[in-house]
């Protein structure tokens, strides 16, 4: 049965509103997780972070929005002889929007009830044997159970918080990670359709193999299977949304021979599975792929200059009508779905912030510490990024639903940023980006995104 659906760019604009904020949140997550790893190896430890962030930006429909965000996190950990580790972290917050600026359509400000952000237990067999014998075993394993942030490969396919069981086995230079996991309900969906975009219920089953026996290189290969159990909210019974996908990926990280300061990351993924096209409740095959290449050179000189080049490609579907990520406005009946969609993360520019599907993205990044000889600014990094975007399939949609013109040139973006560790307890981040739309957009007005955030740890 064919169901006729109407759609406008507004129906799937909400997730795009969160794109620039997601980049900030990922930067904050990395910083907090690094401090989590630095917790005491033995005994009890506890602390917290208070974070204030300010955002002002132009959305994809040309409206300027302003948000002040306050977040408080408290954590505690306990480690017994390095073998048994418990960690828990809670978070609560408050979003202070300017009047009528909240993209969720709420009246304005929003209080975020206390929630469990991280909670896990880890058993380390290697440490147990080392404590008993003073030597590392030839083979070992770790078991982790609970809610944590999980990454496969370099994060192209999976990089999200999950409730999971993870088993890590090691034999000499070979490491095997097995993952069984479930999404946290109120996680934004990869499908932007209104009935499912602000929640998802998915199960993941994955295995990853890494080999560290090659000098300065660590190749990996993985298989990830994802089953979608998400139910639409709002009584939508005319369209099904299940997106069941599998990913076979491989890659490597390391440094280039004879150029030890040149670091690289490479990952390629092939996606298969089944998805529902727009208007028909009969699934079509998914046949998609993605590639990500990063080259980063660190200069061992004064001011620590760094330059990086990154290329990211996600395959596109020529007949997706409005969106590369959504069921509504997505794949058309009777055709394979060739748009790449996954659960990973890539910094694609703070002002445009698209998903990688149906895009070739070229990124150049330069940073340095120009004031490191001044004690106060010793740990301040400043930099700039430039992004260029072109379509994979000229007639296909991308994740930004306002790119309605059949043209390959999507546009370019320029970002500037600063990250400053002011003291051991206080850090500041600032970023500004401006996106210049290309011929794929009927509206060529530039979009801007600015954020700044300060974090105090205690």
What pLDDT is attached to residue 108? 65
List pLDDT tens digits, range 300-311.
999 999 999 999
What pLDDT is attached to residue 40? 58
* pTM assigned to the model: 0.92
Check: CB of residue 280 under 8 Å from CB of residue 2.
yes
Of 149-158, 184-193, 434-443, the poorest mean pLDDT is in 184-193
List pLDDT tens digits, range 344-396.
999 999 999 999 999 999 999 999 999 999 999 999 999 999 999 999 999 99
Q: For 406, what's the count of Cα atoms within 13 Å in the CB-facing half-sphere?
A: 7
Check: CB of residue 290 under 8 Å from CB of residue 342.
yes
Residue 350 token pair: 């703070």
Check: CB of residue 200 under 8 Å from CB of residue 230.
yes
Q: Sorting pLDDT into bands at 50, 70 and 90, what band is 104?
A: confident
4 within some domain = no
User: What is the SS3 assignment for 390?
Assistant: strand
Tell me what the pLDDT averaged over the chain comes to: 91
1 within some domain = no
What pLDDT is attached to residue 187? 87
Handedness of CA 228, 234, 240, 243 (dihedral sign): negative
CATH code (residue 428): 2.40.160.100
42 has pLDDT over 80: no
Tell me the C-alpha distance between 234 and 194, whole Å. 9
174 within some domain = yes
Check: CB of residue 231 under 8 Å from CB of residue 252.
no
226 within some domain = yes
Give every CB contact of residue 267 below 8 A, 6+ residues apart in sequence.
153, 154, 156, 157, 249, 250, 251, 291, 292
List pLDDT tens digits, range 393-439.
999 999 999 999 999 999 999 999 999 999 989 999 999 999 999 99
161 within some domain = yes
Number of separate domains in the chain:
1
What pLDDT is attached to residue 2? 37
226 has pLDDT over 50: yes
**What residue numbers bound the domain in which 381 lies?**
9-457
What pLDDT is attached to residue 4? 35
263 within some domain = yes
Q: What is the DSSP string of 106-121?
A: -SS-EEEEEEEEEEEE
Tell me the C-alpha distance between 436 and 409, whole Å. 11
């Amino acid at each position: 049965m064919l169901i006729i659906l109407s759609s406008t760019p507004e129906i799937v604009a909400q997730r795009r509103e969160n794109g620039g904020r997601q980049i900030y949140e990922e930067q904050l997550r990395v910083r907090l997780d690094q401090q989590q790893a630095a917790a005491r190896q033995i005994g009890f430890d506890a602390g917290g972070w208070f974070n204030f962030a300010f955002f002002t930006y132009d959305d994809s429909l040309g409206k300027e929005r302003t948000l002040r965000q306050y977040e408080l996190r408290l954590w505690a950990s306990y480690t017994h002889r390095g073998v048994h580790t418990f960690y828990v972290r809670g978070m609560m917050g408050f979003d202070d929007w300017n009047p009528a600026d909240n993209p969720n359509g709420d009246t304005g400000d929003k209080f975020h009830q206390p929630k469990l952000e991280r909670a896990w237990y880890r058993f380390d067999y290697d440490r147990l044997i080392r404590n008993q014998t003073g030597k590392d075993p030839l083979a070992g394993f770790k078991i982790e159970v609970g809610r944590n942030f999980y990454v496969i490969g370099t994060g192209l396919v999976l990089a999200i918080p999950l409730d999971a069981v993870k088993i890590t086995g090691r034999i000499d230079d070979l490491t095997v990670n097995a993952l069984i996991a479930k999404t946290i309900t109120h996680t934004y969906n990869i499908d932007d359709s209104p009935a499912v975009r602000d929640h998802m219920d998915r199960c993941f089953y994955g295995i990853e193999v890494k080999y560290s026996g090659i000098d300065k290189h660590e190749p990996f290969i993985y298989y990830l299977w994802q089953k979608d159990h998400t139910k639409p909210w709002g009584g939508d019974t005319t369209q099904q949304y299940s997106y069941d996908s599998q990913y076979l990926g491989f890659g490597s990280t390391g440094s280039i021979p004879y150029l030890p300061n040149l670091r690289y990351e490479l990952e390629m993924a092939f996606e298969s599975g089944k998805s529902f096209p727009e208007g028909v409740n009969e699934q079509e095959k998914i046949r998609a792929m993605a590639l990500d290449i990063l080259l980063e050179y660190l200069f061992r000189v004064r001011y620590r200059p760094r330059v990086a080049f990154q290329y990211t490609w996600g395959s596109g579907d020529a007949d997706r009508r409005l969106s590369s990520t959504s069921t509504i406005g997505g794949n058309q009946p009777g055709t394979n779905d060739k748009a790449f969609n996954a659960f990973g993360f890539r910094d694609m520019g703070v002002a445009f912030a698209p998903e990688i599907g149906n895009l070739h993205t070229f990124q150049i990044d330069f940073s340095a510490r120009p004031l490191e000889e001044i004690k106060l600014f010793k740990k301040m990094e400043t930099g700039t990024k430039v992004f260029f975007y072109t379509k994979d399939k000229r007639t296909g949609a991308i994740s930004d639903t306002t790119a309605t013109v059949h043209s390959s040139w999507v546009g370019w973006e320029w970002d500037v940023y600063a990250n400053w560790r002011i003291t051991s307890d206080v850090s500041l981040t600032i970023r500004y980006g401006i996106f210049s739309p290309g011929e794929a957009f009927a509206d060529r007005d530039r979009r801007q995104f600015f954020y700044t955030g300060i974090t105090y740890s205690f």
